[in-house]
Amino acid sequence: MSRKIVVTGASGFVGHALARRLHCEGEQVLGICRSDGNFGFPVAKIPSFDDPGALAESLNGADAVVHCAARAHQMQDTAEDPLSAFRKINRDMTLSVARQSAERGVSRFVFLSTIKVNGESTSGRGPFTPDESAHPEDPYGFSKFEAEQGLIELASETGMEVVIIRPPLVYGPGVKGNFASMIKLVHRGLPLPLGAVHNKRSLVALENLVDLIITCTYHPAAANEVFLASDGDDLSTTELLRAVAVAMGKPSRLVPLPSGLLTAGATILGKKAVARRLLDSLQVDISKTRDLLDWQPPLSVDDGLRRSFLIAKDKL
């Protein structure tokens, strides 16, 4: 018997892929978003998530809600008060949707958080684990952490099961932001000064993340737990760029400049945050995810990249 699963943010990068797969697998999926469009699965357009009545009909009879809607992390944030802007969407809206879900008898609420709750870097230490102390460093990370704390309290109050997933960088067809910019540079064959970066970073293919989210909608052991997500194979920035080039059938033109020189140059240019993302390590330990859920990433990094570019190569 199929389940009714509501997916918020169904027009977004992760939400759309998740809802589409659930629909293909025969689930009674209902995507929630603020935009019109033909998504290939049933969608309810909601003007405001804050309206107590706006979600009522959509949530009736739902077995699980997966909350993907969010104000995404932005390298160049133009908001006058970024923390307030992030809190309004990522904390307050999340808790509003969760409370409405609990009131409508939804048994499980899956929240797509971020590894930025753990912190920004694992350089000089071991990989992040899901149950260690949180150390968010920017407004986006803080807003997600505060949402997590509110959800844990709500679960205790109402009995609704809450599952929190913290992914690192998610890549796949249609990815945007810095990863998309990097892809375009590799595709154009431009030389990049990143041929001697010896960090390690975890990332997760969109298909792997979607598979984990679906597992978390039904697995008994997922209830009221926090999980980290990754492909299970960490790469240096240099290795990632080479893997991207191979997946695209392009040569990798990487110039081996010392990381210290790159950091100094980026600092002078006011791009220290960008350099940190390229040069620092950020690893996650998915042992708990594997063991508790008996889950393995379906795709390797190489397969994930290859599938991404086979689908997206005509758009580059």
pLDDT in tens, 274-289: 777 888 999 999 999 9
Q: Which of 21-30, 81-90, 103-112, 270-279 has the lowest mean pLDDT?
A: 270-279
Residue 140 annotated in active site = yes
Residue pointed to by tokens 């357009």: 45
What are 298-312's pLDDT values in tens digits?
Answer: 999 888 888 877 654
Supply the pLDDT for residue 284. 97
Among the listed residues 49, 111, 140, 295, the single catalytic one is: 140
Supply the pLDDT for residue 313. 52
Confidence of residue 33 (pLDDT cuts 50, 70, 90): confident
Better pLDDT: 77 or 185: 185
Max avg pLDDT among 245-259, 262-276, 278-292: 278-292
Residue range 78-98: mean pLDDT, rounded: 88
Supply the pLDDT for residue 272. 74
Confidence of residue 119 (pLDDT cuts 50, 70, 90): very high
Q: Please say whether the beta carbons of 262 and 237 come within 8 A.
A: no
Residue range 178-201: mean pLDDT, rounded: 83
Residue range 211-228: mean pLDDT, rounded: 97
Supply the pLDDT for residue 76. 56
Supply the pLDDT for residue 52. 66
Look at residue 54 and tell me whether its pLDDT is greater than 90: no
CA atoms within 13 A on the CB side of 27: 22
